[in-house]
């Protein structure tokens, strides 16, 4: 028997617990309260851990995998956030994106203007800077992992 996973809602009325196995019943009751169709989005990093009843077709109609940002997606985000189709800094972004693992929300966070003085160039420059930092952090993490593996090989 697999243990029940619990979601804890820490609301104003104290703790309320909902088990994942009870989630479909809760959502069914919620949806029945509305006359129109509703859209409910559930997210997880571990779909393999979910109860099969929760993700069956007919109950969950779409499964969308959100991966890391690629250059085509970046261009769409730049258009949405900055209303720009091209810029000289696009050339800096394109080779960096495949080398790092940034999700769309991270890219938008850097692209979105943060103050009245931000403009297209400053927002794109902020993203390029973040991409360089992420690339350096990834390289450092890889070097550390390699050093640890080599230390393990030497000790054997």
Burial of 123 (0-12, 13-18, 19+ CB in 10 A): buried
Answer whether residue 29 shows pLDDT above 50: yes
pLDDT of 152 reads 66
Local confidence band at 144 (pLDDT 50, 70, 90 cut-offs): confident
> Which token pair is 79?
């258009």
Local confidence band at 1 (pLDDT 50, 70, 90 cut-offs): very low
Q: How far apart are CA 4 and CA 93, in angstroms?
A: 44
Q: What percent of the chain has pLDDT over 90?
A: 43
Answer whether residue 18 shows pLDDT above 70: no
pLDDT of 111 reads 94
Residue with token string 């350096």: 136
Buried b (16+ CB within 10 A) or exposed e, 89-117: bbebbeebbeebebebebbbebbeeeeee
Local confidence band at 108 (pLDDT 50, 70, 90 cut-offs): very high
pLDDT 10s digits, 34-83: 777 777 777 777 888 777 777 777 777 777 777 899 999 999 999 999 99
HSE, side-chain direction, 13 A CA sphere, residue 105? 1
What DSSP string runs through 108-152? HHHHS--STT--HHHHHHHHHHHHHHHHHHHHHHHHHHHHHHHHH
Q: How far apart are CA 122 and CA 61, in angstroms?
A: 41
pLDDT of 12 reads 54
């Amino acid at each position: 028997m697999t243990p029940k996973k619990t979601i804890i809602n820490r609301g104003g009325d104290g703790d309320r617990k909902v088990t994942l196995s009870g989630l479909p019943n809760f959502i069914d009751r919620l949806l029945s309260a509305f006359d129109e169709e509703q859209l409910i989005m559930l997210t997880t990093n571990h779909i393999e851990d979910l109860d099969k009843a929760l993700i069956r077709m007919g109950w969950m109609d779409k499964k969308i995998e959100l991966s890391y940002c690629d250059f085509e997606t970046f261009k769409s985000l730049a258009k949405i956030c900055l209303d720009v189709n091209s810029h000289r800094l696009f050339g800096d972004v394109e080779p960096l994106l495949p080398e790092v693992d940034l999700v769309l929300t991270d890219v938008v966070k850097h692209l979105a203007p943060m103050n009245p003085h931000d403009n297209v160039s400053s927002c794109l420059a902020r993203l390029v800077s973040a991409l360089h930092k992420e690339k350096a952090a990834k390289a450092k993490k890889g070097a550390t992992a390699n050093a640890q593996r080599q230390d393990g090989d030497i000790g054997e």
